[in-house]
Structure formats: structure tokens, C-alpha cells
Amino acid sequence: MNGLGNPAGCGPVSAIVLFGPPGSGKGTQAQFLREALAIPHISTGDMLREHIQAEDDLGREIKAVMAAGQLVSDALVIRMVEERIDRPDCQHGFILDGFPRTLPQAVELDGLLGPRGIGQKVIHLKVDYNKIVNRLTGRRQCPQCGTLYNIRLKPPIIPGRCDMEGARLMVRDDDKEQVIRQRLAAYDAQTKPVLDHFRSLGRLNDIEGSEASPKVLAEQIIQVVRAR
């Protein structure tokens, strides 16, 4: 598939703003979209690590904020995103993952994209939370080699044992039901104002992701992205 800015008729350059709760498969969809549309996947977490590792001006500022035990400010995140989307690989579009995370960031997004002639396609993966809990509580990990299994979707040959190491599989702390539900509640509290903002502007595209396979879901998202 061609990039979003392809002159052959795929429409103007667009930013795909991707939302989805923990366990929704958002990371998988970002990978599908990056490969299918040949555009970069921009993760705020990855950008933070990149700047800190590069020890550039932004990286030193971010490191100092984090060392003080403070959250990285909206203004700093916006600067970081602005620097990233001005790179040449974003000229045909890009996927934003983890931004905007707050309402001020969502409001500022127009100021970043509008003057650059970049449109927005906001995708929200809707997945039943009980299905997410069922999926994630089924995960098991080998403590020796780190291989992940799922007792419902990808079980080991011998129940409870790693196929390669034979070690007894463990449940990670972040795969326990109480922790998962806490993460989902935190996601709701943080993300609802942002989604409401995009919905009020008529930009939000809700896509039901509870039942569809990852490939089918990706095809649905691409149809929305390519719609004029």
C-alpha cells in the first residue's frame, strides 16, 4: 500500500491518532498500519528514551525533570512531538501513539498540524473490558527465557511449563486482574476528556475491536484512514 500523501489519489498528508485501552491490541495495529501505509509510528515513550539517550537539549531537560520525580510537562511533550513530525520521514503522514494524552495536548494538536497542512484521523479501538481482562489474565511467562504464552489463546504443550526451558510458567504482576482493572480505570480517567474533545469536533472514529482478528481490524482502520 502507498503512503497517505501519495499523489496517486490517497488524499492529503494525515496524522493517524491512535487510541486504545491496555490490552486492546493497539501496538499490533500500529505495526500493521506502519507497514501497510509506509509511515512512521511515533510513540511518546520511544521519543523520551531517544532524546535521553542522545543527550541532546531536550533529552537533558527531560532527564532533569524525571530525576526530580516530576511528570514531563505538556509543553515539553509538545516540543518533542513538534521536533519529530518535522523530520523528512513524516512528509507522507505518521501514526501518533501516546499523544495527545491530556486535553491541553489535544487542543495544541491543531496548532501543530494545521499550519503544516496535516489532517487528522482519530481512531479509537473499543474493546469490551471483560474481554481484555480475560485475555490478559491468561498470559503466562517463562522466568528463564521470557517467552510469553496464553493459556487460552497460545497454551504451552505441557500445561504450566515452558516449551523450551521446561520451567514452571509465572503470572506477571501486571497481568493480575486487580492490576489490569486499575490500569483500565486510569486509562478511562485520563483519556475520556481527550476522546470527548475529538468527538465534539466530529473527528473521532470508534472501531469495535472486541471480536475482529488483528488483520481484519487493521483493514477496517485503513478504510477509515483512506476515506476522504
Give the residue among 153, 225, 212 at the shortest CA–CA distance from 25: 212
Give the active site residue among 79, 183, 199, 226.
Answer: 183
Is-contact 152 146, C-beta < 8 A? no
The pLDDT of 192-198, averaged and rounded, is 96
Domains annotated for the chain, with CATH where assigned, are 14-127+204-226 (3.40.50.300)
Q: Residue 172's beta-bridge partner residues?
A: none
The pLDDT of 150-161, averaged and rounded, is 94
User: What's the pLDDT score for residue 179?
Assistant: 93
Say how far residue 26 (Cα) sits from the centre of its chain: 5
User: What's the pLDDT score for residue 4?
Assistant: 40
| pLDDT of 170 strictly over 70 | yes
User: What's the pLDDT score for residue 13?
Assistant: 67
CA distance 110 to 118: 9
Q: Most distant CA pair in the chain: distance in Å?
A: 58
Give the residue among 208, 228, 24, 200 at the shortest CA–CA distance from 119: 228
Letter string b/e over residues 109-136, b meaning 16 or more CB atoms within 10 A of that residue's CB: beebbeeeebebbbbbbebebeebbebb
Q: What CA–CA distances, in Å, run from 196 to 42, 109, 128, 188, 201? A: 23, 15, 19, 11, 9
Per-residue pLDDT tens digits for 101-129: 999 999 999 899 999 999 999 999 999 99
Is-contact 112 82, C-beta < 8 A? yes
Question: Own/partner pairs for 86-89, CB < 8 Å, 24+ apart?
Answer: 89/39, 89/40
The pLDDT of 196-211, averaged and rounded, is 93
CA distance 125 to 29: 10
Write down the pTM of the prediction.
Answer: 0.82
Terminal-to-terminal C-alpha distance of the chain: 17
Give the amino acid at 226. R
User: What's the pLDDT score for residue 193?
Assistant: 95
Q: Can 183 be counted among the known catalytic residues?
A: yes
User: What's the pLDDT score for residue 137?
Assistant: 95
- pLDDT confidence band for 72 (50 / 70 / 90): confident
- pLDDT confidence band for 67 (50 / 70 / 90): confident
Give the active site residue among 126, 168, 172, 215.
Answer: 172
- pLDDT confidence band for 12 (50 / 70 / 90): low
Q: Can 26 be counted among the known catalytic residues?
A: yes
Percent of residues in the chain assigned helix, strand, coil, to nearest 5:
50, 15, 35
Q: Can 168 be counted among the known catalytic residues?
A: no
Structure-model confidence comparison of residues 70 and 150, the more confident one: 150
User: What's the pLDDT score for residue 9?
Assistant: 36
